[in-house]
Structure 1
Amino acid sequence: MDKTALKNIKPEVLDSIARRAHYLATQMIWQANHRSDKEKGDPKIGGHPAASASSLHIMGALHLLVKTGFDHIANKPHASPTDHSYNYLLDLFLKNDLSRLSQEECDTAMNGLRKFSAQGEPVFQSYHSTYDSDNHNFYPSGSVGIPPVAAGYMALAYRYAREHNYEVPDAHFWAVCGDSEFREGSMYEAVPDFAERELGSVTWILDYNRQSLDGHRITNKEIMNGTDADRVERTMAANGWEVIQVRHGSKRQALFKKKDGELFKNFLEKELEDYELQSLLLVQDMKALKKGISKEHPHLKKFLESVTDQELYDAFRDFGGHDMILLAEAMLKSKESKRKPTIIIAHTLKGWGLRAAAQPGNHSSLPQEEEVEELRQKQKISGDKLYERFASGTAEAKFLKERGESLLADIKAQHALKAKNQDSFLKQLTAFGEIPETLDINTKMTSYPHTQWMLGQLTAKLTRIANTPLDESKLSDKQKALTPNEKPFKLPGELFISMAPDVGTSTNLNPAMDGKIFGAPVVVDHETDLGVKDHKLPDLVPGEEVSDRFLRFEIAEGNVMTCVGSFGRMRDTLGIPLMPLMTVYDFFIKRALDQYFYNLYWKSSFICVGTPSGVTLSPEGAQHGWKSDIQIPFQITWEPFFCQELDWILCDALKRHVLNDNAGRSGVLLRLVTRGAEQKDMLHYLKKQARFKDGLQAPLARAEFPMNGAANEEEVAALDEATIFRTVREEVLKGAYYLIDYRGYAGYEPGDNVINIFAMGSLTTEAIKASEALLSRGIYANVIVVTSSDLLVGIQGHETDYEYLKSGLGINSNLILNRSEEVRTGDLITVAGRRVPVVSVHDGEAGLLDNIGSIVGVRQECLAVRKHSKCGRPSEIYAYHGIDAESVVEACGKVLAETALEKVIVSEQALGDAHQAEGASAHWTELWPSRTPAQKH
């Protein structure tokens, strides 16, 4: 709707619709708090009717007048009932196929605020949710301060997609924020970034009602040189935003035209503190109010005497934020700014239309039943009906029908575009066959590379492939044509976009950054012009070329986390499978953990690389060593050890994303390190496994520990590398694989001399050392490398009842009974019963792997980080935390000894001739003598 069409709208129709929406929102909140199935001890439902009412006309202007069905809205969480009410009136409660819910289903949804959907019936989650029936282009809003930022970065994603020649609709990005919410640090971090990126399609609307949860907001007017609205205006203008204040409604403006009216206007805008204004709103006696104001502000006495009590009462409550036409004009004006984002400060009354209006405790208060019934009667809703649309034929019904149909047409058009894009990308992605399982990075000529280095190699190759033309006649000098294995990565590489909070170079993204910064071209490349460009560093001059696929940020982890989530939503919003990847020092993921959770709840699809991670970053381990060990639905965490594992993992994640095959695991968290590892060890140990020997006829033995009747494993040919890797890749992507596996070796006796060591990430080096040391003591220590704790023993593992751990890896609690000398006690005898115990070692919180033993029912010792770290070399820091090789050996000895002490009492008849020698009970330390403190250090 443009300004011309706006002039033809009848304000009384808008007012009538707004009052119906106000009643509906109030009723749905009241019903939610008075359900018949409430149980003793249940927490209150809430619903925030006062906060919802303050945004009544803001949301009305958006829904009824300004927004298109292509626009996106982030609504403040406490205003969601009002939003649902407008969508109810517009008949925009939709099913997945975009058909409308029936009237009965709509009423069920309205009566189901914060209700559990036991039978799949439509309900509304608290605040806005991806699961609501009116969720189209709405941001989940439970996390205050985050949805407005997500709206801004979604605007950037739209621009990015458009300028990379993908088809996107014209859209504006609106965010309605509370004035307390506007103190959130997440919003202030984004303010300068949105301006510098010239996001003119972003409009934030501040619901400025001067109240918060705990009561009236009190700001320091003298120090801030004005009200909080003045401070916000100056702050936003200084940060490059357009600012529009919507202070006064038509009744106030009429009074301003009276004699001395300008004094009254100045009084409202400049002289009143917000707290004083809120206090004046509580006064009901206008004669006393006039007297009090005249005493404190004598220059207003004549003006106050010239207005009636009713005019003064109405004027104090006539905030501009409750005038839909004024708000719509401001919103339309904000869309005229193409280079600057805009903030509209809409002055409102918290609790508008309710008896609790302006009351300091109204945030959590609920109206009484008689007030709700009074609102219902005013809407002329009769009988037992609680929710009702306007009768057919009324001006309101005609307006809402036309408006609702227009918005639904846009919604259907967006979904059609999404389907078109999906089909187009699917055809292009399969044009060169299946996306390969590997990017074929050669690590054999590199000395002790680490996984962070490997990330740089992988992203560099994707970047090179993306920027290499398929048409060989268009190749530039020194540019090589793509190989058949690289061509299927061409489109995924073009869809790949990386970003970082000023740690791109230190996380090995240099090749993806160099000359490829996407951003407003606001500077001339003076370094090149002056001949001072350092070509050893990446070129960071921003541009908007098709080849620009890196987003540069300042040190603002929350911004980047929200941005990666917004870009990741492009696939499910418009069918454009942009594949965003962000790198951040793992320790600082916690600074953006709220945003990270939001991304996952929102079902965004993205890759977050936390690197370097853990105490393995030993020189900085004192403060930066506590990893962000978290389990959240839709997340899958990977922590590879060998570079080859990372290659397989990244290619699999990329393929799953672009082909929309990552349900339940859309958020990929990669933990990488800067500690190198011997890459040759991977094949070295895999080739020693019996399962990878060609035509094995006899048990195996290590060359250094020969055994009679056993074959020297070095003399038995192993399968070829490709065959081995095919098997191991599948296991890596299931969450774990055997690196050292003594099954099939002579003398391998589970229950006697076998233990399983689970190692994750860089600690695999320590596990290998420990396994070798234990073998020299006659202990067969298998080393199982955990690539994903989530898949093995986390959320995804739980969903399959840990099938892969139990069956795929064969980890079980089988009890092995051993015969011994005859010692009888009546008809019962005691035998030794032993299971294969587990030791786990990883750089992180114990909770990542400490449940392996309990899942299968065996003794486990979990070595992990349990205290603040210190600086030092990895070997020193690992020893300090008790996760070094020697600690692994000691832990293995402990659990083996404890397992050896386990007794099972059975009847002699059940065992037949089995006998057990009975001796005095011992402590495990007697079976595994520990080192003395001197030996330890």
Structure 2
Amino acid sequence: MAADLVHLETLHRRLLWLACWTIHNANHLREKDDGDVKVGGHQASSASMAAIMTALYFHALRPEDRVAVKPHAGPVFHAIQYLMGNLPLEKLQNFRGYGGVQSYPSRTKDVDDVDFSTGSVGLGAAMPIFASLVQDYLQGHGYSAALGRMVALIGDAELDEGNIYEALQEGWKHDLRNVWWVIDYNRQSLDGVVREGLFHRIEAIFAGFGWRVVRLKYGVRQRAAFAEPGGDALRDWIDACPNSLYSALTFQGGAAWRKRLQVDIGEAGAVADLLARRSDAELASLMENLGGHCLQTLCDTFDGIADDRPTVFLAYTVKGWGTPLAGHKDNHAGLMTPAQMTAFQTAMAVPVGEEWNPMASVPDVAALQGFLARVPFFARGRRRLAAPALPCPTPVTLTERVLSTQAAFGRIMDEIARNGGPLADRVVTMSPDVTVSTNLGGWVNRRALFARAELGDTFRDERIPSTQKWAFSPQGQHIELGIAEMNLMLLLGAAGLAHALFGQRLIPVGTVYDPFVVRGLDALNYACYQDARFLLVGTPSGVSLAPEGGAHQSIGTPLIGMAQDGLAAFEPAFHDELSIILDWCFDYLQRDGEGKLDERTWLRDETGGSVYLRLSTRPLEQPLRRADPEFARGVIDGAYWLREPGPNADVVIAYQGAIAPEAIAAAGRIAEGRRDVGVLAVTSADRLNAGWSAARRARARGLATAASQVERLMDRLPRHCTLITVIDGHPATLSWLGAVAGHRTVPLGVEHFGQTGTIADLYAHFGIDTAAIVAAASRISPGRPLRLSA
């Protein structure tokens, strides 16, 4: 261990230097096209984590472990990867530049092995909790996946994020294990100093949720000093010292430490002797020898945890440790000046011209390289795993004549559960306490709930009739969550990365009330940013949920579906459309192509992604069975003609979702006085819009024949034709259709919080009922644009 500590100390210094130099290069040395705009970086936040990450990556971690790195310690992570040969130098040199490593670790944008993206504060910290739950799920189902520790390296200021505590509670509910959180307790945040005594609250909260709490406050040298005569007084002074004063004295250095300690505790006696035996530099080193910077303390502590109980390490650190920025309250986004960097380079013994040399100033390169070759964490090479795609079952055909899309979803999932097969066995459903009301009850009755321990259905055992036959077992395929939509999105993200993290593919399906998608939107974006693969079902949706009032009616979610990268959004009206979409979805979730565009639609379908369905509780009369391949293709591409427009069409009605009956009825009434009226059934404004944008970009690159699905649909309309778009949601979802070929457009939709009433009441109130559509058409003169008067 003594020899290893020598190597670890060398690596600590190398990582600290490379992280700081990377940031310095980006801000002060690299040419910039935008003048003096600050590139940024976090030298102080990196410095406070350097020893912790050295002890973990080069000593404590194993290949099966996964780590979420504190966002502002990204430069240390990238320095580790560079030192291990997993990152090209040019990527590091272009830190925060185009094509370089990201400001914060990213699975999708960085080329080195990032386990969890951590750019959104708090979410990266919580993600390992849900990854551990996915590990347990895989083990319960007998899938080969070595159990590893899911580790979060987090800043103390991240504990201000509310999702942290939602995740802790969910972990407690599911008997969490194999999770480590290492808190960089440097007691400084972006704009100030962390409140005094916060550690008491932190420790109490984690202990309350059943975690082991380990405090790493003192380093080896401090503990040795405490054993000297007068050491007790020194320890008591450290424990009582306010955070801001400790930081200020750290910045001021050894002379300031001596002066203050002499005044407070060291005028005479044993403490005075303790101080006198140390130079100013040695005294400063002693006072900065906190547990989070002492490699021996860190390694011994990590080695001492041999079980799978969730553990939080409260590692006391100095923000900016080892740099000229150490302790200063402005150091969070502060940068070393060129003069400070020169002094730092001298202190780190890095020769001029050797700044990027990973082995600069290493006394025995061969010995260090031999040590690195034995580091367990990197022993298996690249850590991004893969899993084969699962065969998809044939589409489920429903025969009900009147049905809502939400009920159809439940029927299809129940049929998949009943039929079984490889894909059905890999589906894992989840919901934040709305399983039954989102129509997953049938699936759960067949497939049961997941828990690490068997738990029977008490009502069934007591012979009390219930439609819910729910028992818990390690083989269950539904994970019931508490009412926290952030946790749903995080679990979808973790399960949707099972193939990449654990080499086992899952098909995660999550259901949530559609208006509450926005409560988990940050975590949804985070899951998509990691390229996790899942199906999110938002249901019920829109003002069609009329009796529930504005609190339960979603307006803007169609726009979220269009805007969210990595998420293909659909809103079918009929169950045959939904069946086609789900069949396509199960394949789409598993694709991992190289990004070649489909030149028919100009969509990047080969890359795959996640899917969002906006479904409704409104029962609709279903059309006769439609087996035309062109119909199925149109459903997936985003739209098809429900009623073909004639060559002289003055009016075309385009609708999306549960508003279909109003659009169809209005077309019938309008056709009594007009010829050639068309009805465009939009199943995915998202995919229509994405294909249109991509085709325009292709034409700008010289591909003159590039045409998207929506352009082909609009091409058949005469220029004088007016589009009336209508949706049970924000009208901007479809209003852009007029821009495709220059058609005048009348967008109808919902822009304000809903009322309580019947569907007819609310549709009339918002002007999206049949009468409103007909009235809009009545203002259109045949062969001419819309009249704005009347």
Measure, in 2, the Cα distance between the counterparts of 1:375 and 1:130.
32
Match of 1:656 in 2: 588
Pair 1:861-2:746 in alignment:
yes
Q: Indicate the RMSD between aligned Cα atoms, in angstroms.
A: 2.6
**Mean Cα displacement is larger for which, 148-157 or 586-595?**
148-157
Matches within 5 A, 1:531-930: 531=462, 533-539=464-470, 541-545=471-475, 548-625=476-553, 626-628=555-557, 629-630=559-560, 631-658=563-590, 660=592, 663-679=606-622, 682-683=623-624, 724-743=627-646, 749-750=648-649, 754-793=650-689, 795-801=690-696, 803-811=707-715, 814-815=718-719, 835-894=720-779, 896-897=780-781, 900=784, 924-925=788-789
Choose from 293, 297, 307 the match for 2:275: 307
Matches within 5 A, 1:402-421: 402-404=371-373, 406=375, 410-412=379-381, 418=385, 421=387
Identity of aligned residues (%): 27
* Alpha-carbon spacing, 1:41–1:859, altered in 2? closer, same or farther (3 Å): farther
Measure, in 2, the Cα distance between the counterparts of 1:436 and 1:253.
64
Equivalent residue letter for 2:21: Q
* Alpha-carbon spacing, 1:33–1:663, altered in 2? closer, same or farther (3 Å): farther
**Contact 1:774–1:780 (8 Å) recurs in 2:** no
* Alpha-carbon spacing, 1:643–1:414, altered in 2? closer, same or farther (3 Å): same
Pair 1:17-2:36 in alignment:
no
Normalising by structure 1, we get a TM-score of 0.77
**Contact 1:507–1:583 (8 Å) recurs in 2:** yes
**Contact 1:210–1:217 (8 Å) recurs in 2:** yes
Report the secondary structure of 1:872's partner residue.
Answer: coil
Match of 2:598 in 1: none
**Mean Cα displacement is larger for which, 556-565 or 623-632?**
623-632
Match of 2:699 in 1: none
Q: Can you list the C-alpha shifts for 1:839-876, whole angstroms capped at 9, x where unaligned?
A: 10012223211111012111001112112211111111
**Contact 1:248–1:319 (8 Å) recurs in 2:** yes
Pair 1:110-2:64 in alignment:
no
Match of 2:441 in 1: 510
Measure, in 1, the Cα distance between the counterparts of 2:523 and 2:785.
49
* Alpha-carbon spacing, 1:302–1:858, altered in 2? closer, same or farther (3 Å): same
Match of 1:67 in 2: 61
Measure, in 1, the Cα distance between the counterparts of 2:454 and 2:248.
48
Measure, in 2, the Cα distance between the counterparts of 1:281 and 1:799.
55
Measure, in 2, the Cα distance between the counterparts of 1:809 and 1:326.
68
Q: Can you list the C-alpha shifts for 1:380-405, whole angstroms capped at 9, x where unaligned?
A: 44343330122699545533444246
Report the secondary structure of 2:67's partner residue.
Answer: strand
Measure, in 1, the Cα distance between the counterparts of 2:423 and 2:96.
40
Measure, in 2, the Cα distance between the counterparts of 1:287 and 1:35.
38
- Offset, 1:43: 3.7
Match of 1:357 in 2: 326
Q: Can you list the C-alpha shifts for 1:627-674, whole angstroms capped at 9, x where unaligned?
A: 423112221100000011111101110123346565455120000010
Match of 1:907 in 2: none
Equivalent residue letter for 1:189: E
Q: Can you list the C-alpha shifts for 1:41-68, whole angstroms capped at 9, x where unaligned?
A: 6642110100110001011111211112
- Offset, 1:304: 4.7
Choose from 317, 333, 357 the match for 1:348: 317
Measure, in 1, the Cα distance between the counterparts of 2:468 and 2:458.
15
Match of 1:325 in 2: 296
**Contact 2:536–2:611 (8 Å) recurs in 1:** yes
**Mean Cα displacement is larger for which, 321-330 or 9-18?**
9-18
Equivalent residue letter for 1:728: F
Match of 1:158 in 2: 135
Measure, in 2, the Cα distance between the counterparts of 1:875 and 1:125.
51
Measure, in 2, the Cα distance between the counterparts of 1:263 and 1:36.
49
Measure, in 1, the Cα distance between the counterparts of 2:766 and 2:165.
39
- Offset, 1:739: 1.3
Match of 2:602 in 1: none
* Alpha-carbon spacing, 1:771–1:898, altered in 2? closer, same or farther (3 Å): closer
Measure, in 2, the Cα distance between the counterparts of 1:383 and 1:678.
77
**Contact 2:354–2:360 (8 Å) recurs in 1:** no
Matches within 5 A, 1:358-507: 358-390=327-359, 394-395=363-364, 397-404=366-373, 406=375, 410-412=379-381, 418=385, 421-422=387-388, 429=391, 435-444=392-401, 448-466=402-420, 490-507=421-438
Report the secondary structure of 1:343's partner residue.
Answer: strand
Q: Can you list the C-alpha shifts for 1:688-722, whole angstroms capped at 9, x where unaligned?
A: xxxxxxxxxxxxxxxxxxxxxxxxxxxxxxxxx56
Measure, in 2, the Cα distance between the counterparts of 1:162 and 1:244.
28
* Alpha-carbon spacing, 1:233–1:574, altered in 2? closer, same or farther (3 Å): closer
Measure, in 2, the Cα distance between the counterparts of 1:534 and 1:35.
74
**Contact 1:586–1:627 (8 Å) recurs in 2:** no
* Alpha-carbon spacing, 1:836–1:173, altered in 2? closer, same or farther (3 Å): same
- Offset, 1:191: 0.8
Normalising by structure 2, we get a TM-score of 0.91
- Offset, 1:145: 0.6
**Contact 2:648–2:675 (8 Å) recurs in 1:** no
Report the secondary structure of 1:582's partner residue.
Answer: strand
**Contact 2:42–2:333 (8 Å) recurs in 1:** yes
- Offset, 1:522: 7.0
Unaligned runs of 5+ in 1: 1-6, 94-105, 118-122, 220-226, 430-434, 467-489, 684-720, 816-834, 903-922, 931-937
Higher relative contact order (CA 8 A, sep 6+): 2
**Mean Cα displacement is larger for which, 776-785 or 497-506?**
776-785
* Alpha-carbon spacing, 1:37–1:732, altered in 2? closer, same or farther (3 Å): same
Measure, in 2, the Cα distance between the counterparts of 1:251 and 1:196.
41
* Alpha-carbon spacing, 1:457–1:211, altered in 2? closer, same or farther (3 Å): same
- Offset, 1:293: 2.2
Q: Can you list the C-alpha shifts for 1:150-178, whole angstroms capped at 9, x where unaligned?
A: 22212222221222122223422111000
* Alpha-carbon spacing, 1:664–1:857, altered in 2? closer, same or farther (3 Å): farther
Measure, in 1, the Cα distance between the counterparts of 2:237 and 2:7.
32
Match of 1:916 in 2: none
Measure, in 1, the Cα distance between the counterparts of 2:457 and 2:619.
37
Q: Can you list the C-alpha shifts for 1:190-243, whole angstroms capped at 9, x where unaligned?
A: 112223323321101000000000021224xxxxxxx21121111101111111
**Contact 1:139–1:147 (8 Å) recurs in 2:** yes
Measure, in 2, the Cα distance between the counterparts of 1:621 and 1:854.
34
Equivalent residue letter for 2:612: L
Match of 2:181 in 1: 204
- Offset, 1:326: 1.6
Measure, in 2, the Cα distance between the counterparts of 1:11 and 1:575.
34
Report the secondary structure of 2:612's partner residue.
Answer: strand
**Contact 2:588–2:608 (8 Å) recurs in 1:** no
* Alpha-carbon spacing, 1:808–1:36, altered in 2? closer, same or farther (3 Å): same
* Alpha-carbon spacing, 1:287–1:156, altered in 2? closer, same or farther (3 Å): closer
- Offset, 1:536: 1.9
Measure, in 1, the Cα distance between the counterparts of 2:645 and 2:414.
38
- Offset, 1:603: 0.9
